[in-house]
Structure 1
Amino acid sequence: MTLEILDIAARPDLKPAWRALFDGYSTFYKRQLTDPVADAVWAWLTDRLHEVEGRLALVDGTPVGLAHFRRQPRTGFGEDMGYLDDLFVSPDARSGGVGRALIEHVREVGRGRGWRTIRWTTADDNYRARTLYDQLAAKTSWNLYELTVGDTP
């Protein structure tokens, strides 16, 4: 098995495979990924000037996982940190080290950029992923709040 992590911006030809993975991620979280949302995120990921970046994990040349991440200011420390927005591994590729490899890749990107911290959230009932996350990171005691600002599509 050959595992490779690719920068999405360097491989726009992989959009259909990325879309299938992002659809899987959205379905897992009980959201429907619309074409306008997918197109907006894809535009971000392929624009080197946009803050959101993406990586695809390929096993033997087949895309099986994705990670979307970005820089986030950490105001209490006067520094930048990383935020892992989305992480998904196709069900048939789970338990093969793909999720760990994607997180470790983001860690290396962060290390190169001087980030001391990378954060992410997951659903409380995402037990399988949390098993991996508990091996790699410390669960915080923070609660997540979401304020609706206006009508959204």
Structure 2
Amino acid sequence: MSNAGSVRVVPVAERHKQDWRRLYDGYAAFYKVPMTDEIAGAVWGWLHDPAHVMNCLIAEDEDGKAIGLAHIRAMPRPLSGAECGFLDDLFVDPDARGKGVFEALFAAMDEMAQKNGWAMVRWLTQEFNYRGRSAYDRIATKTPFILYQRDTPAG
């Protein structure tokens, strides 16, 4: 899919399961969200269900080890009558940071956006994600939108 130096980005495959879980656990730990086998199993299932909207890009090092992940999907934009990409999760192995993984994942997302006709990719991050925000500020525009959440009886 995409090569950036010694980093290669590919769609997630069964061979990535153990490394994907390690990365996803790291992502959850960063946000202090408990990760269970049930949750991880559900997400892994989505990633391998062609009918599900969720996709996963895996960044690999030169040895084929997964060192980064991006969960991305199409998101409708009713006011434009089009879809854009929505990045749900992005995580780079702490040992691989500063080695082009972030850039390689975004280059692959740009390719995905081009293929799908998405004019943009959007994402959210937490206020305290200073390192991530610094990187995002280099490649994207911070929007004026504020996110709200309302819990429902189903939750």
Task: Give TM class, smaller chain.
Answer: over 0.9
Supply the RMSD in Å over aligned alpha carbons. 1.1
Structure 1 equivalent of residue 126 of structure 2: 123
Structure 2 equivalent of residue 80 of structure 1: 83
Which runs of structure 2 are paired with 1:1-153 in the superposition (5 Å)? 2-8=6-12, 11-60=13-62, 61-152=64-155
Deviation at 1:131, TM superposition (A): 1.3
For the 8 Å contact 1:89–1:98, the answer to whether it is kept is yes
Deviation at 1:100, TM superposition (A): 1.6
1:84-109 per-residue CA deviation (whole Å, 9 max, x = no partner) reads 00000011111111012112211210
For the 8 Å contact 1:100–1:132, the answer to whether it is kept is no
Unaligned runs of 5+ in 1: none
1:105-144 per-residue CA deviation (whole Å, 9 max, x = no partner) reads 1121011111101100011111111111111110001101
SS in 2 for 1:80: strand
Could you tell me which amino acid in structure 2 is paired with residue 29 of structure 1?
Answer: Y
Unaligned runs of 5+ in 2: none
Deviation at 1:150, TM superposition (A): 2.4
SS in 2 for 1:54: strand
Question: C-alpha distance in 2, partners of 1:79/1:41?
Answer: 26
Deviation at 1:66, TM superposition (A): 0.3
Q: Percent identical across equivalent pairs?
A: 41
Question: C-alpha distance in 2, partners of 1:78/1:50?
Answer: 21
SS in 1 for 2:106: helix
SS in 2 for 1:55: strand
Question: C-alpha distance in 1, partners of 2:23/2:140?
Answer: 24
Deviation at 1:151, TM superposition (A): 4.8
What is the aligned length?
150
Comparing 138-147 and 100-109, the one that deviates more: 100-109
